Amino acid sequence: MLCRHLMFLLTLGCIFAAAVEVQRPRGVSLSNRHFYDETKPFTCLDGSKTIAFDRVNDDYCDCKDGSDEPGTSACPNGNFHCTNVGYKPQFIPSSRVNDGVCDCCDATDEYNSGAVCPNTCKEMGRKERESLQQMAEIAREGFQLKQRLIEEAKRRLEEKEKKLVELKEGKIQKEEQLEALRTVKETAEKPEKEARDRHQGAWEEQKAIIQKEKDRRRMAESFREIDDDGDGIISVSELQTHGELDPDADGSLTEEEAQTLMGGATQTDMTAFEEVAWKNIKEKYKPEFEAHPEAPMLSETPEEIAKEPPSDSVPEEDDDEDDDGEDEVDDEDDPEYDKAPPVGLPSQKTEDEERMPPYDEETQALIDAAQKARDAFDEAEKSLREAEDQIRGLEKEISFDFGPSAEFSYLYNQCYELTTNEYVYKMCPFSRVSQKPKYGGSETNLGSWGSWAGPENNKYAMMKFEQGTGCWQGPNRSTTVKLSCGKDTAVISTTEPSRCEYLMEFTTPAVCREPQELDPHHELDAPRDEL
Decide if pLDDT at 250 tops 90: no
Model confidence pLDDT, tens digit, residues 350-364? 555 668 899 999 999
Model confidence pLDDT, tens digit, residues 32-64? 999 999 999 999 999 989 999 999 999 999 999
Which of these ranges, 152-156, 174-178, 241-245, 365-369, has the smallest mean pLDDT? 241-245
Contact indicator for 135, 487 with CB cutoff of 8 Å: no
Residue 445 falls inside a structural domain? yes
Residue 279 falls inside a structural domain? yes
Model confidence pLDDT, tens digit, residues 114-164? 888 899 999 898 888 888 888 888 888 888 999 999 999 999 999 999 999
Tell me which of 400, 427, 447 is where a domain ends.
400
Question: For residue 174, what are the contacts with CB-CB under 8 A and spacing of at least 6?
Answer: 380, 383, 384, 387
Tell me which of 62, 85, 119 is where a domain ends.
119
Mean pLDDT of the residues in the chain: 82
Do 364 and 485 reside in the same domain of the chain?
Answer: no
pLDDT mean over 509-519: 71
Do 190 and 86 reside in the same domain of the chain?
Answer: no
Closest CA to 291 of 249, 245, 248: 245
Contact indicator for 496, 475 with CB cutoff of 8 Å: no
Do 455 and 496 reside in the same domain of the chain?
Answer: yes
Model confidence pLDDT, tens digit, residues 64-117? 999 999 999 999 999 999 999 888 999 999 999 999 999 999 999 999 888 888
pLDDT on residue 337: 35
Do 106 and 215 reside in the same domain of the chain?
Answer: no
Decide if pLDDT at 345 tops 50: no
Paired sense of beta strands 478-485 and 234-235, if any: unpaired
Give the amino acid at 327: D
Cα 481 from Cα 468, distance rounded (Å):
14
Residue 156 falls inside a structural domain? no
Tell me which of 354, 377, 400 is where a domain ends.
400
Residue 153 falls inside a structural domain? no
Q: Residue 27, by phi and psi: left (phi above 0), alpha (psi -120 to 50) or beta?
A: left
Residue 300 falls inside a structural domain? yes
* CATH number for 433: 2.70.130.10
Which pairs from 315-323 meet CB under 8 Å and 24+ separation?
none
Provide the percentage of residues in the chain whose pLDDT is more than 70. 80
| Element holding 433 (H helix, E strand) | strand 432-437
Residue 257 falls inside a structural domain? yes
pLDDT band, residue 344 (cuts 50/70/90): very low
Do 430 and 384 reside in the same domain of the chain?
Answer: no
Higher confidence at residue 334 or residue 205? 205
Question: For residue 296, what are the contacts with CB-CB under 8 A and spacing of at least 6?
Answer: 305
What are phi and psi for residue 366, nearest 5 degrees? Answer: -65, -40
Do 224 and 344 reside in the same domain of the chain?
Answer: yes
Residue 323 falls inside a structural domain? no
Decide if pLDDT at 313 tops 60: no
pLDDT mean over 248-271: 87
Cα 479 from Cα 463, distance rounded (Å):
8
Do 443 and 376 reside in the same domain of the chain?
Answer: no
Do 176 and 257 reside in the same domain of the chain?
Answer: yes
Do 396 and 489 reside in the same domain of the chain?
Answer: no
pLDDT on residue 351: 59
How many distinct structural domains can be found in the chain? 3
pLDDT on residue 330: 44
Residue 144 falls inside a structural domain? no
Decide if pLDDT at 470 tops 60: yes
Decide if pLDDT at 266 tops 80: yes
Which of these ranges, 198-207, 258-267, 340-349, has the smallest mean pLDDT? 340-349
pLDDT band, residue 410 (cuts 50/70/90): very high
Do 337 and 251 reside in the same domain of the chain?
Answer: yes
Decide if pLDDT at 14 tops 70: no
Model confidence pLDDT, tens digit, residues 202-239? 999 988 888 889 899 999 999 998 888 889 998 888 88
Do 7 and 71 reside in the same domain of the chain?
Answer: yes
Do 174 and 285 reside in the same domain of the chain?
Answer: yes
Quick check: pTM over 0.75? no
pLDDT on residue 333: 42
Cα 40 from Cα 42, distance rounded (Å):
6
Which of these ranges, 113-122, 126-135, 457-466, 511-520, has the smallest mean pLDDT? 511-520
Cα 286 from Cα 291, distance rounded (Å):
6
pLDDT on residue 316: 43
Decide if pLDDT at 485 tops 50: yes
Provide the percentage of residues in the chain whose pLDDT is more than 90. 54
pLDDT on residue 64: 93
Q: Provide the domain limits for residue 69.
A: 2-119
Decide if pLDDT at 282 tops 60: yes
